[in-house]
Chains A and B, each alone.
Chain A
């Protein structure tokens, strides 16, 4: 069967790739685009390790058929740093030891960015609910939640200058 041609924007770059119609966007990102940040945990939308933003919406890329991305703007974890300058979330995850094995981390970072983009000053409860779709089997979550709150504080300070 002929492959499907997809044109989209990923992390600010216009790109094109070929995929199978039933291929997940996650597989296309990893296998066609060689963007290995998003991970496959469950493959059924439960764990959030494959979280990306598509047209500004936080979604599990394992549930997206790759052809759906045609014409879309996608942000993966590779797109959240500013060149060599880590995003405050990434910096705070490092400083707060918010990861152990790291498989869930890209998904947490993208989901946390989606939260802070719409709510720059979340409560701890809001962070916990916003990250309920991301599973971590190492940290016990507490360091992740604290790091997201720390990043929110840092970003507010940066805005306040």
Chain B
């Protein structure tokens, strides 16, 4: 294996185009364990962390730009980002230990394509866009369209994620993410649920999005739950409909961490609680 640390996106594109066995990495928190587990090592490990655009976190013209290789510690340490997107930042702070959060990234969490990836539902409910660079130049892709199955993405050979773009939330809007694990730290989600909620001046829900982790081969957006919320107050009846819609949308597996029935039920419970948490913050003006 060779190691290279290019200084520009164009260099990475050229390296990937010339070698199908080359692979980009940032924190290597998934790459190294996979190599240790016997997966073939890449011909070239392309370190993205020396490219400033890939490690930056900035707010420009009402849009947050989060570099795909920025460690999640740089999200949890950013008070302005945490005020605007508290659910996303909280999710970043759930992934692994302090040691891991100084290396792990949103780009890696998305492209490793674990169904249980904690940051992905929050990216999805905030309608994050991923800037993807490749042989054809750069294009912008919705994050929801990138995972295609466990360990698989829709990225084409030679493509990699450069950064995420998230519009600053409107006033009286907030997000939340909750996950269930059997302990307080350092585990993989049995179920995760993200919600984004906007309230109007009367306290009615004017816009919403709900997404689930670890209950299907990819992150699941649940439009039926959002439709149940929009247009009225967030009542117990509405929340029951949200929970039912999420349980219905969940298509989980049975494994040692949880059964299908348990995961479906928990998906509904966490979705309800995430909606209430997001709506509580939105009712206080959101991050504005």
Interface residues on A, range: 20 to 34
Once the chains are docked, how many angstroms separate the CA of A45 from the CA of B29?
7
Once the chains are docked, how many angstroms separate the CA of A80 from the CA of B223?
53
- The A-contacting residues of B in range 80-139, CB under 8 angstroms, are 96-100, 102-103
Once the chains are docked, how many angstroms separate the CA of A129 from the CA of B97?
8
A19 to chain B, nearest CB (A): 9
Tell which of B1, B47, B73, B102 touches A68, judged by Cβ atoms closer than 8 Å: B47
- Interface flags for A31-63 (1: CB within 8 Å of B; 0: not) read 000000000000111101001000001111011
Once the chains are docked, how many angstroms separate the CA of A1 from the CA of B186?
38
Which of chain B's residues has its CB closest to A48's CB? Answer: B99
Do the beta carbons of B32 and A62 come within 8 Å of each other? Answer: yes
Instruction: Known contacts A45-B32, A64-B28, A65-B47; decide if A22 and B41 are in contact (CB<8 Å).
Output: yes
Q: Which residues of chain A are within 8 angstroms of B3 by Cβ–Cβ distance?
A: 4, 21-22, 65, 67-68
Which of chain A's residues has its CB closest to B71's CB? Answer: A57
Kindly list the 9 A-B residue pairs having the minimum CB-CB distance in the complex, ordered from nearest.
Answer: A133-B97, A21-B3, A44-B33, A132-B185, A57-B102, A22-B1, A67-B3, A133-B99, A60-B99
Q: Beyond A114-B98, A130-B98: 18 further Cβ-contacts under 8 Å?
A: A22-B35, A44-B36, A45-B99, A45-B100, A57-B71, A58-B98, A58-B99, A58-B102, A59-B103, A63-B27, A65-B45, A65-B47, A68-B3, A68-B47, A111-B98, A133-B98, A133-B99, A133-B186
Which of chain A's residues has its CB closest to B41's CB? Answer: A22
Once the chains are docked, how many angstroms separate the CA of A21 from the CA of B41?
11
Q: Which residues of chain B are within 8 angstroms of A24 by Cβ–Cβ distance?
A: 32
Q: Which residues of chain A are within 8 angstroms of B98 by Cβ–Cβ distance?
A: 58, 111, 114-115, 130, 132-133
B residues in contact (CB < 8 Å) with A: 1-3, 5, 27-29, 32-33, 35-36, 41, 45, 47, 49, 71, 73, 96-100, 102-103, 185-186
Once the chains are docked, how many angstroms separate the CA of A29 from the CA of B49?
21
Do the beta carbons of B99 and A111 come within 8 Å of each other? Answer: yes
A128 to chain B, nearest CB (A): 9
Do the beta carbons of A65 and B28 come within 8 Å of each other? Answer: yes
Do the beta carbons of B97 and A132 come within 8 Å of each other? Answer: yes
- The B-contacting residues of A in range 63-120, CB under 8 angstroms, are 63-65, 67-68, 111, 114-115
Do the beta carbons of B103 and A63 come within 8 Å of each other? Answer: yes
Do the beta carbons of B102 and A59 come within 8 Å of each other? Answer: yes
Q: Which residues of chain B are within 8 angstroms of A22 by Cβ–Cβ distance?
A: 1, 3, 35, 41, 45
Q: Which residues of chain A are within 8 angstroms of B28 by Cβ–Cβ distance?
A: 63-65
Which of chain B's residues has its CB closest to A44's CB? Answer: B33
Q: Which residues of chain B are within 8 angstroms of A63 by Cβ–Cβ distance?
A: 27-29, 32, 103
B244 to chain A, nearest CB (A): 35
Q: Which residues of chain B are within 8 angstroms of A67 by Cβ–Cβ distance?
A: 3, 5
Of the A-B pairs whose beta carbons lie under 8 Å apart in the complex, a sample of 27, sorted by A's number, is A1-B2, A4-B3, A21-B2, A21-B3, A21-B45, A22-B1, A22-B35, A22-B45, A24-B32, A44-B33, A44-B36, A45-B96, A57-B71, A59-B102, A60-B100, A63-B27, A63-B32, A63-B103, A64-B28, A64-B103, A65-B3, A65-B28, A65-B45, A65-B47, A68-B47, A130-B98, A133-B186
Once the chains are docked, how many angstroms separate the CA of A7 from the CA of B96?
30
B134 to chain A, nearest CB (A): 24
A147 to chain B, nearest CB (A): 18
**Which of A21, A111, A130 has the most chain B CB atoms inside 10 A of its CB?**
A21
Do the beta carbons of B2 and A129 come within 8 Å of each other? Answer: no
Q: Which residues of chain A are within 8 angstroms of B2 by Cβ–Cβ distance?
A: 1, 21
Q: Which residues of chain A are within 8 angstroms of B99 by Cβ–Cβ distance?
A: 45, 48, 51, 58-60, 111, 133
Which of chain A's residues has its CB closest to B183's CB? Answer: A132
- Interface flags for A122-147 (1: CB within 8 Å of B; 0: not) read 00000001101110000000000000
Which of chain A's residues has its CB closest to B45's CB? Answer: A65
A123 to chain B, nearest CB (A): 15
Do the beta carbons of B97 and A57 come within 8 Å of each other? Answer: no
Q: Which residues of chain A are within 8 angstroms of B102 by Cβ–Cβ distance?
A: 57-59
Once the chains are docked, how many angstroms separate the CA of A132 from the CA of B32?
20
Q: Which residues of chain B are within 8 angstroms of A68 by Cβ–Cβ distance?
A: 3, 5, 47, 49
